[in-house]
Structure formats: structure tokens, C-alpha cells
Structure 1
Amino acid sequence: MTAPSPRLLLASASPSRRRILRAAGIEPLVLASEVDEDALEAAHPHADVHELASLLAEAKARSVLAQLEAGAPAAIAGDAPLDPSVRTLVLVACDSVLELDGRPVGKPHTAHRTRELWDRMAGTSPVLWSAHWAGLLTRESAQAPWTLTDHRAAAGATTVRLASPEPEELEAYIRTEEPFEVAGALTIDGLGGAFVTGIDGDHHNVIGLSLPLLRRLLADMGVRWTDLWNAPGALG
């Protein structure tokens, strides 16, 4: 009997990351991490942007690993449920942080903070860092616990060229509240996309998950990217 293909478990409830994976032929399982990002950032005041994004991505992965150890598989979500016969999971955790003037810019949370950030960012070309942590989990049976057998980590950087929104445009954008909970108070795949005039690098990295970078990390662990294809249409 052929062993079932591995499944990808995304340590994030991000709709954007799920859309990226689905468009790439992968219907992910989802188990959201439980990480206080602001507290972690405050605990590492001297971390550079690359280091901070990497710390956040690993913390999210460790949070999900802890949930799995505590019996959280029942909480795993996804449009394609986890087959009990699956013996391999690929855990993927990501975090994005914008670098502006050499300093990290996280999620603004409020209208006031969003306005302050855009006053600094408009017309500039900051760098968006997206850190990726990928782990290989295996189990001997449907009742056995998952065991982390290998992992890799890396971060991608993409330069984002920003427009200078008119004051009325910025206030309209702020009223949508979209920029409040995204890295650097900007998006490229939503309402903020019109304020991005161009990018240098992988556009998926700006959305929060770099497909070529993730493919390389998985290949280093012996996982073939196409073995993860399971979304409707991916297999013909």
C-alpha cells in the first residue's frame, strides 16, 4: 500500500498565507499559534529586523508544537481534514516585519500609529522581511504523538516601493482598519495594494510566505514540493 502524502500544517490563521498555498496547489491544515508578538519584541529591544522576524517565526512554531504535545490535533482546521493514516506533517510558521530606517516596524494596531508610520513611509522604499520556520513531524500511528525530526529556518527580504497617498486617501484607508494588523501598516494583496508602486524581490514574500524559499527549506529536509499538492485542480 502506498504511504499517504505528507500534509502541510500552517501555524497561522492568516487568510493571505492560506490563499498563497491554495493557489500553489496546497490545501493546508491550520493550527493558529498563541504568541504575544508585542511582548516578544519588547523582550528583544536590540534585535535587528532579520533577527526579530526569525524569533517571532520560531516562537509561533514552538507554540504550535506545544499545542500538538498537549493534544491539540482535534483543533486542527482545514477544508481537507487530516487523514488518520498520514504519518508526516510539514509545520510551517512565518512572521513578517518591515524595516524602515534600519528599525523594525510591526503591526500598528491603532489609527494614530498607522498615521504616524505612513507619515514616515510615504514615498520611501522600506524592506519587508518574512522569516520562515519549517519542521518535519512524524508519528508511528494515528494514536502516537507527533515528533519533530528535523527543521530549517531562513528569511526572505523584498524591497517595497511606496506611493505617497493624499491625506484623504490615507484617512479613508485608515477607516477600513485593514492596516492595523498587518506588518508595517501596508498590504499588497488588499486595499493597500494601490499604494505600492513596485517591489524588488519575491512578491509572495511581501504577502507573508515565499514559495521558492519554502520549497528550498523543504528540499533540504528531503520533502519534494510537488508531494504536498492536494488542492482541487493541482493533481489534474
Structure 2
Amino acid sequence: MIPVVLASQSPARRQILESSGIDPLVLVSEVDEHAIEESFTGSVGDLTTALSEAKARAVIDRVRTAPPSELDSAETVVIIAGDSLLEHNGHAIGKPGTAQRTREIWADMAGEWTTLNSGHTVAVLERGGETPTDSGFELVDIRSKRSATSVLIGRPTPEELDAYIATEEPFHVAGALTIDGYGGAFVERLDGDHLTVLGLSLPVVRELVRDMGLFWPDLWSPRR
């Protein structure tokens, strides 16, 4: 088995991996996403890829300099990072943070088609240190790819929107909506991979893993 490190604190991404047979070690990157977003000049889709790569590289540095004990016996490690942004009318819709901003977002996108972009970065580390004090891990490959799914947003009643805002769920998720929570009832249709909407497309991650010469089932955790 090849251990997998998930460079994300997203419960949804972790659940997706666990449901696919992978029990990841979670290491949060602590990347300043806002700073990257402020300086980025490309498309919304490319921004998600840039954010996922920044998260992956931050965790790569942590594993190389101070690997957690869970990786002591590993010869190869796979790091998976992801980032998602909802796009509407060509603009990224991030985490609103407040009730007022949530209302503004919903006033703009209710009843409209939007695009959920998810960037994915996969890195492979292998033992390669030359001295006993080295962590032993060296980066041998890193690749990124994004996926996009169209999302038709519903029209909650004013009372429903008030109740949704009261949960505070939309404050902390891209686009002021998450399909795997209270907000799932307000999504009318998807066109594309539903896992992209949840933040991690397994077909994309598997493709990246295979392109780097690894066997996907080697990432599965032993059955209990």
C-alpha cells in the first residue's frame, strides 16, 4: 500500500477518498489563499489549479523537512491537493463569510447556471535522502489538472434562504453553497461529474496517479 496525504481540511474531500478505499493522512497546508487570489490574473479554472498546486507544494515541504511518524515506513508517498471555486458570469465566487455577502451572492445566482471548477494536484515523493538526518523524501513528480461541472442553482423562497443563512453553512464554502449539506436541496441540476462539485474528482485524480506510473489500487488501504 502507498500512503496518501490529503493536503486539505475539507471533510468532503476526505470522505470521497475514504469511500473509494483510501484512508488519507490529513495535513492542512496553511496556504494564504486570499493572497494568491489577489495576485492571480488568469481564468477562474486556472486559479483553482494554482491554489491546489500551492497547497500541494506547502505540504511537500512539510513532509520533506519533518515527515509525520505515520510515514516512517513508507518508501513512496502520494500527496493529493484540491481547491474549488464557483464561477458565475466569468467571476469567481468564494466563501462569503457573512450573511450580507451570502444574500448578495444568492440574489445574483438564484435560477442561473453556474460552473463549479475544481483544481487537482497530485505529487509523488520517494525515499532519496543520502544522510541519516535527511527525511529521505524527494519529489519525483507533480502534476495538476482541473475539472468543471455546470450547476443550475434553484430559487429558494426568502424564508428558505433566511433559514439556510441561519445554519451558517454557506459562510464557509465556495459559492455560498455546498451540495452535500443543507444547500443540496437548492441545486436543481448538474451537467458533469458530481464529484467535481464536492471538490475532488476521482476520475481526474486516478488519471494523474496513473500518468505518474502508479497503480491506483496500490493506494487503497487494507480492508479491516
- TM-score (norm: length of structure 1): 0.89
2:114 to 123, 126, 130: 126
Counterpart for residue 54 of structure 2: 59
1:115 counterpart = 2:103: yes
Residue 213 (structure 1) shift: 0.6
Counterpart for residue 136 of structure 1: 124
Report the aligned-residue RMSD.
Answer: 1.6
- Indicate the larger mover: 50-59 or 143-152: 143-152
Which amino acid in 2 is paired with 1:147? E
1:84 to 60, 69, 72: 72
SS in 2 for 1:137: strand
Counterpart for residue 21 of structure 1: 17
Residue 52 (structure 1) shift: 1.0
Q: Distance in 2 between matches of 1:30 and 1:180?
A: 23
Instruction: Decide whether the 8 Å contact of 1:27 with 1:231 is kept in 2.
Output: no
Instruction: Decide whether the 8 Å contact of 2:110 with 2:153 is kept in 1.
Output: yes
1:172-221 deviation line (CA, Å, top 9, x unaligned): 11111111111111111111000011101110110000000100010000
Aligned identity (percent) is 50
Counterpart for residue 198 of structure 1: 189
Q: Distance in 1 between matches of 2:171 and 2:35?
A: 17
Counterpart for residue 211 of structure 1: 202
Which amino acid in 1 is paired with 2:186? F
1:225 to 204, 216, 222: 216
Residue 161 (structure 1) shift: 1.1
Residue 43 (structure 1) shift: 1.5
- How many residues of Structure 1 are paired with residues of Structure 2 in the alignment? 221
Residue 69 (structure 1) shift: 3.2
Q: Which runs of 5+ in 2 are unaligned?
A: none
SS in 2 for 1:128: strand
Instruction: Decide whether the 8 Å contact of 1:106 with 1:182 is kept in 2.
Output: yes
Q: After TM superposition, list the pairs within 5 Å mapping 1:128-167 onto structure 2.
A: 128-140=116-128, 144-167=135-158
1:181 counterpart = 2:172: yes
2:160 to 162, 169, 179: 169
